[in-house]
Structures are given as structure tokens and as C-alpha cells.
Amino acid sequence: MSRFKLNFQGKNKGITVLLLTVCFALVLIGILLLQDQFSEGVFNGKRALKDVETQLAFGPRTPGSDAHRQAGDWICSELEAAGWQVWEQTAVVDGHAIRNISASRVQGAGDPLYILGAHYDSRLVADQDQDPAKRDNAVPGANDGASGVAVLLELARSLPEDLDGNVWLEFFDAEDQGDLPGWDWILGSRYMASNMDRELVYHVNGVVVVDMIGDADLTIYKERNSDPSLTDAIWTTAAAHGYGDQFQPSVKYQMLDDHLPFKERGIPVVLLIDFDYPWWHTTGDSVDKVSAESLDAVGTTLYYWLVDAMGK
């Protein structure tokens, strides 16, 4: 009897230790899963990738489509949920209705020190597709459009609220329809820049546009229309945080993009773009071509660059 009792107590002790070990392991796994999903440094590339997926789920965000309207409404709701003040700029440009979306954390918008921009429309036709039968189809726009939007939205969630200065996030409409009948490029950004009053222009230290920055094989070169000093500051930040491979120090392209209208107003500008993208303006510009790691490289770089530039 005594022997049986001793064995029984030992068995209970062993079961207790086992249960505690299992419980601890489950708690640890839960913590790790939460960290993996929500606490990926200062910028969460995986959450940004989900934003790309959300945009693709609407369908091609071609101007005038339901998907385009839904995407714009969703962008507004995400910004508001992150605590940003949102306003819109609507107009008819060259016969096309445009809807630019702006956001600021400052009540009444305030004058920005920096503007970060991306276009949210996708191209009406995949005119660069190798398959002629697909060239009349709309472009899904995972990298060319959705990736830049995703980076700006995740920055809206992650940027410190007490930056020493103001940032505007700009979501430009009708960037990507040039060379199509009745269309020109960069309608939304050109309209915004041309309607900025001189005092506002004077307050802006720089405009940074992100476009096609989600490619899983990301390589961003310095761009010829970009301000050299502002470019160097961003590239230095990228290298300091381990993204030297993604941000190459040489100059390669001269691009017509949403940064140009602001350069024409005398504002220093930078375009971040990986134009070595074989699925540009094709039906292959799908979400499987975009990686969380690439979004993270760009988003983290811009996060630390802004924090440094604004004296946080």
C-alpha cells in the first residue's frame, strides 16, 4: 500500500510537470505567432502584403470601375482607422474624373514637411503582355500600384505620432493610363501639384514617390529626375539598416512618374522604383510576384529616414 501510494504521487507529479510544460509551450507559440503577425520591427511587411492582397481582391482598379471606387473607399477607411485625417481632391482632368486621397495626422491638415505618394489606379489594358490575346485585359497591378499603396498604409499605422513636423500621405489617381487613346500619364499628381499655392510649396522639404517597389527580386537604382541630396539620405538609411542590396548606389533610369509635377514646382523629389520588372503592364503583375521582404525593405527605410529627417 505504501509502495503504491509513492508511485501514485510520483505519477501525479510527472503529469503536473508535463501539463505545465505543454501550457508554457502553447503560450510561447501564441506569443511568437502574434509577434510574427503584428510586431515585425517598426514596419510590418507581412501586414503590408495583406494590403496588396486586399487590393487585388477588389479586381483591377482601373479608373471609373467599381474596384477603383472600392479601393479608394478602403484606403480612406484604413487611414482613418490608423488615426489620420483624410480629405479628397476630385476634379475632371482631360475629360476624366480623378480622385486623389490625402491624409495627415495634424488637425486641419497643416503644412507638410514631407509628402509620401503612390498611385492606386491600375492600367486599363495589359498592352505589354507577350500574349496578344491578353493585351485587352486590365492589369491586376499587384506591384504597379498596390505595392506602393501598401507601404504608405503600413507607414500610416507605424509612424510615431510625435514626429517633429507634419507628413502628408498622398494616393494619386490616374497615374498609369498614358499612351492610351484619350489619356495622358500622371493626371492625379499633376493636378495636385499645379493647384498647390506658393506658401504650401515653400513649406515642403521633399516629395518621395514609391512605385513598383514590391518585386520579390527587388533592386532599386537611383533615378535621374530625383534630387541627389535627398536620394543619398534615403540610400544611406537603407544601407544602415541592412538594405544595401535592395538600394543600389548607381543611377540607371530617368522616369516619368508622379514625382515630376512636384519637381516642376521646385520641390526636391525622389522616386523609388524597380523598373526591372518583366511583368510591367502585363496580366502577370499578380500578387505572387510581390514579397513581404521587399515591402519591408522600402517601408523600414522610409520609416527611419523620416524619423531622422524630422528629428524624432
* Predicted local distance difference test score (pLDDT) of residue 35: 44
What are the structural domain ranges in the chain? 1-39, 43-309
pLDDT above 80 for 268: yes
**Does residue 34 surpass a pLDDT of 50?**
no
Q: Which residue has better confidence, 233 or 36?
A: 233
pLDDT value of position 167: 95
Q: How far apart are CA 98 and CA 185, in angstroms?
A: 12
- What superfamily in CATH does domain 43-309 come from? Zn peptidases (3.40.630.10)
* 203 pLDDT higher than 70: yes
Residue 3 binned pLDDT confidence (cut-offs 50, 70, 90): very low
pLDDT tens digit sequence for 287-300: 999 999 999 999 99
**62 pLDDT more than 70:** yes
Confidence of residue 21 (pLDDT cuts 50, 70, 90): low
Give the pTM: 0.86
Average pLDDT over the chain, rounded to an integer: 90
Question: Per-residue confidence at 110, pLDDT binned at 50, 70, 90?
Answer: confident
Helix axes 66-81, 45-58, angle to 10 degrees: 150
Distances (CA, A) of 40 to 151, 161, 260: 14, 18, 33
- CA 203/CA 312 separation, integer angstroms: 19
- Given a cut of 80, whether residue 273 has pLDDT beyond it is yes
The per-residue pLDDT for 38 is 43
Q: Is the pLDDT of residue 6 over 50?
A: no
Question: What nine digits make up the cell of 292?
Answer: 513581404
Lowest mean pLDDT among 18-27, 61-70, 124-133, 205-214: 18-27
Question: CB-based burial of residue 201 (10 Å sphere; 0-12 exposed, 13-18 middle, 19+ buried)?
Answer: middle
CA-based nearest residue to 189, from 178, 202, 205, 203: 178
Burial (CB count <10 Å: 0-12, 13-18, 19+), residue 50: middle
SS (H, E, C) 84-133: CEEEEEEEEECCEEEEEEEEECCCCCCCCCEEEEEECCCCCCCCCCCCHH
* Per-residue confidence (pLDDT) for residue 4, from 0 to 100: 37
